[in-house]
Amino acid sequence: MHPKALLEATADLVGLVLKFDHPADQVVSRFFRDHREFGPRERATLAETVYTVLRKKLLFDHLSPSGSGSKERRMAILGFHGPRDFLKSALNDTEKRWLDNCDAVKPDDLLERHRHNLPEWLVGPLKAQLGDGFWALVESLQQPAPLDLRVNALTDKRAEVKAELAKAAIKSEATPFSPWGLRIDGKPALTKLDAFARGAVEVQDEGSQLLALLLDAKRGEMVVDFCAGAGGKTLAIGATMRNTGRLYAFDTSAHRLDALKPRLARSKLSNVHPAAIAHERDDRIKRLAGKIDRVLVDAPCSGLGTLRRNPDLKWRQSLKSVEELTVKQTAILQSAARLVKSGGRLVYATCSVLPEENEAIAEAFGAANPDFVPVDAAELLQGLKVEGSEALCAGGEGGRRYLRLWPHRHSTDGFFAAAWNRK
């Protein structure tokens, strides 16, 4: 495609995304459906440019007023994912000079807000938690997330799948913490692989795999994934149960559960029972009260641990939306806890990095429910032979109480998890 045409299309897409009417990934997908003329290379340029703009929005907002043309075009130029020579062939002389001037700006000359590109309401809580580590997190959030796969432990072995991928010219490395994970070099077309088609692998961040591992579901148990969504963790849990027992996948969104069906068919699991519920107090929940061995509550959250993948979330969330989420999280956790039988385990998790959604929820629940005994996440992970498990945990006595994952420390999305055993 001609550089000028590609830049124009990129500017159009940037404009649509910056309206923030819908999640960025949905806007990008819809744009590609409406414009079938773009090949894989053009799509990569369009998508990566958009995500760069979202990651560096405050900086680009600062630089763009000095340029010419529409704001969307200026933002697209600043974030353009591709060779500089290719980009410049689409620019006029004025734009070229402006771009050179922007490229010459040194990070040390910028205000802090233009370096971290985060809303101020988010900066304070992150600095309070990380101290000097804040800027390491900022640097990691400016980069795309790696591509992690989970090997289906029911049907395949990680080493064999790794060798199979190598034959297809796909480099991978075993993830350092999850026993099921492979980290892929680049972004290959996975859906065309036999390993994907037959259910040997699923795309899943290593941190998400660790949440399923922490539940430690056993053969023959009754287990509930309370907020299953599209079922990534459900499938991992089902594999650990060796396709025995009964695994309920509950969610209030039937649409999201529909996305589980083709994945479930590939997985070869027959012990999974998806069910849409009206709310956390649904009659289905009441009927199972006190009967379940293990319950995972991967609660609806701000998603701020996934900013490498979803950088638009930092502009679409707010203090008010987080406050509303904490009310929902508290209610969901309390309702899910009723399912757990005596001697059973409850795990609460989010993909957020905010204490309000994590430690505060867990501590309030523990105080209100003395029959649930907290279990150190580090102890559980050590029992599951996860190497370096203490480095994955924080909080409580000895800093071992909660699973606390960070992109800059663990190369995963930001995750939190707390575990209890019921008396």
Note down pLDDT in tens along the chain; length 423 residues. 899 999 999 999 999 999 999 999 999 999 999 999 999 999 999 999 999 999 999 999 999 999 889 999 999 999 999 999 999 999 999 999 999 999 999 999 999 999 999 999 999 999 999 999 999 999 999 999 999 999 999 999 999 999 999 999 999 999 999 999 999 988 898 999 999 999 999 999 999 999 999 999 999 999 999 999 999 999 999 999 999 999 999 999 999 999 999 999 999 999 999 999 988 888 888 899 999 999 999 999 999 999 999 999 999 999 999 999 999 999 999 999 999 999 999 999 999 999 999 999 999 999 999 999 999 999 999 999 999 999 999 999 889 999 999 999 999 999 999 999 999
> Which CATH architecture describes the domain 206-422?
3-Layer(aba) Sandwich (3.40)
CA distances from 386 to 234, 363, 378, 381, 383 (A): 20, 25, 9, 5, 8
Query: What is the pTM assigned to this prediction?
Result: 0.95
Q: How is the chain split into domains, by residue range?
A: 3-117, 148-202, 206-422
Determine the Cα–Cα distance for residues 380 and 345; give it in Å rounded to an integer: 11
What string of H, E and C letters represents the secondary structure of 198-216?
Answer: CCCEEECCHHHHHHHHHHC
The answer to whether the CB of 308 falls within 8 A of the CB of 405 is no
Q: Which fold has domain 3-117?
A: N-utilizing Substance Protein B Homolog; Chain A (1.10.940)
419 phi/psi in degrees, rounded to 5: -130, 145
Q: Could you say which of 102, 227, 301, 351 is catalytic?
A: 351
- 351 a catalytic residue: yes
Q: Do domains 3-117 and 206-422 have the same CATH topology?
A: no
> CA quadruple 281, 284, 289, 291: dihedral positive or negative?
negative
Determine the Cα–Cα distance for residues 307 and 363; give it in Å rounded to an integer: 26
Q: What is the torsion angle, in degrees rounded to the nearest 10, for the CA atoms of residue 211, residue 217, residue 221 and residue 223?
A: 0
- Class of domain 148-202 as given by CATH: alpha beta
Tokens of 161: 């799948």
